[in-house]
Amino acid sequence: MKKSEDLNFNYLVICEKPDAAKRIAEALGKYQEYSEKGTNYYLVKNSDKRYIVCSALGHLYVVADPTNRRELYPVLDVEWLPIYKVDRKKAQLKDRIEIIANLAKRAEAYINACDFDLEGETIGYNILKYACGEKQNLALRAKFSTLTKDELQEAFKKAKVGLGGNLAEAGRARHILDFLYGINLSRAFSEAFYNANHRYRLISIGRVQGPTLSFLVNREIEIRSFVPLPYWGLEALVELKDGIRVVAKYEHDRIERLMLAKKIKEECEGKRGKVEKLKKSLINISPPTPFNTGDLQKEAYRLFGFSPSQTLSIAERLYLDALISYPRTSSQKLPPSINYERIMKSLAQLESYREDVSLLLKSQLKPNEGEKDDPAHPAIYPTGELPKRELDSRERKLYDLIVRRFFSVFGEPALRERILATLLVKDYLFKLSGRRTVKEGWIRFYREYTQMEDIPLPDMKEGEEVNFLRIDLLEKFESAPSRYNQASLLDKMEREGIGTKVTRAEIIQTLYERGYVEGESINVNDMGFSVYEAINSYIPQILSVEMTRNMEEKLESVERGKVRGEKVIEDSFEILLPILEKIKEKEIVIGQEIRKGLINMIFKQNLLGACPLCKKGNLTIIRSRRTHKRFVICTTKGCKASAPLPQRGFIKSTNQLCQECRWPIIYVKLSKIPWKLCININCPTKSKVKEVVKDGKV
């Protein structure tokens, strides 16, 4: 096999990921694949041009503190270093960087073919600058939104110098700004914890993480302080003509006084009334808009329970297979240049879409677009390429969602009829409501993903008599505000203008990883509360949505070429340095407050359930100071309840009791799949002798 120094080529093409590199090589012409120290690259011959197509594995260079001393802050001087020098787990990437550097020495010209966004531009810029020897301002830029052959070929024909210059500067500035805030604030809080408690613990916070945590804490406070007030409602079982029975509701959903509700019930129950008024109205429902990143994440969470980060990961795989367009976009627009008809005709090769495509092609293809736009990429759409491998269940779900959303935006408005019947009995009004679809329009293409149901009502006429057979008095209570889930929190961050379409999901995931929040319906635990309260009491600027939003706006100005990235970074020091000084002044009390939350969190995590012996205390996990082994004891002094535990693996309560002995059942996680275990060593289920098969007999 030829080595890199033996190859003859003109252009070195830098891609973001190996799959994208192979796609690009296939699009450019006939290629030969080479492998060197686990790194694949491709030689492509295309008329008089010869390309070497190679790839990164995401970021090969990252912002770092050159001193790498966690006790030192503030950190104001940072460097871009090869990732293997910062993260030991990335040691294998040293070979990849060296191979790219060796190829760069032989190249006559360079093409940046990384994803065209902040992250992709940053990745390509850094490789061209550091691995290729300051070629970032000389390289051509290929811009594409799909990895289809036609679009890639067109992108390389139109590649030009300087196409993503502002993106690169904005991307690098954002990385530096996020690093400076993250490393300094985290070191300051971690040092505060250490100096107050004489033990180290990483206390992480960042410029977007702080406001996001505050959204969750404020909602949690609302929920905990909410006092539900009672109110009453009335539902009547009504008999219409021909003996048809329906349930009607009193005209006011809330009756504040019980005596009034009882009075209405007594006066109306068993009485005859009539249809006072019958009103029918038609409502036009416009098609949905095309997916941008946030819309796709929210819809995938609503329908499939995919977290925002999971949705991005799945969409990335579909993009690398050339099945969908680039999934990181703010746009809700589909330009005609993507050729709607060609995409649909190609998708019609799949039987599940054939009938829908046939119907859509009979009308003019004009998408219902939203207001949001993105100069880098259009909305997310299927490319028309067909899967060349079997998609897994999650990929199939997301792909079908994207295809059917694409179809639906070209559909006609749906027409729904709303029917409202007002029933009069004595001097009181009850209401019946129904709805039905008169014209499906776009709903036909998105039916399984809509929540529109028909609620039919029997035929009625004004003046028609009805019998109020029974009236039920219902006591209700006001509902507390609901907790955020990952989709609604992402939507909140988007509306408040903090984070980006890519980083929002990462920030939410970080809050889970740092142990500040838990649960699908996001609950802030004691650790999260203590970090929040320490920040809010002494350095509330860290939680400021306005401060974070202003920084986002400045970074967007860098992207538009109106401000230099260095200026934004320098200005940020005026905010950051006073914050660090305040943390240093109050570090002992801050560290003590955070420790209280940590202790409470650990105590609650170690509780496994009520003690089945004394019935007073709780069973909790403790670790022996002498043997360091963990076991279970009761929190009640003198109670003899105890049990050994597995010494390896993560343990968590299931909130379930064993059906045999009524001791708690726990999860023990040693691998990806946890197993359940009753902690009672004397449980009858453990003393049962297993059946042994010998000679074909039990």
Q: Tell me how long the chain is.
A: 698
CA–CA dist 142, 153 (Å, integer): 10
Q: What is the DSSP string of 155-210?
A: HHHS-EETTTHHHHHHHHHHHHHHHHHHHHHHHHHHHHHHHHHSS-------TTHH
Q: CA-CA distances (angstroms) from residue 590 to 213, 544, 593?
A: 17, 19, 5
CB-based contact 667:676 (threshold 8 Å): yes
Q: What is the DSSP string of 132-157?
A: TTS-TTTSEE---SS--HHHHHHHHH
Least Cα distance to 366 among 415, 319, 313, 412 occurs for 412
Report the alpha-carbon angle 311-317-319, nearest 5.
100
Annotated active-site residue 326? The verdict is yes
Query: Choosing from 73, 326, 399, 446, which is the catalytic residue?
Result: 326
Q: Which distant-in-sequence residues (6+ apart) come within 8 Å of 152 by Cβ?
A: 23, 24, 27, 28, 142, 144
Report the alpha-carbon angle 190-191-194, nearest 5.
90
Q: CA-CA distances (angstroms) from residue 436 to 27, 101, 275, 421, 431?
A: 50, 65, 20, 14, 17
CB-based contact 54:21 (threshold 8 Å): yes
Q: CA-CA distances (angstroms) from residue 459 to 242, 278, 408, 434, 437?
A: 11, 10, 32, 11, 16
Which 3 state secondary structure label does DSSP give 349?
Answer: coil
Q: What residues act catalytically?
A: 326
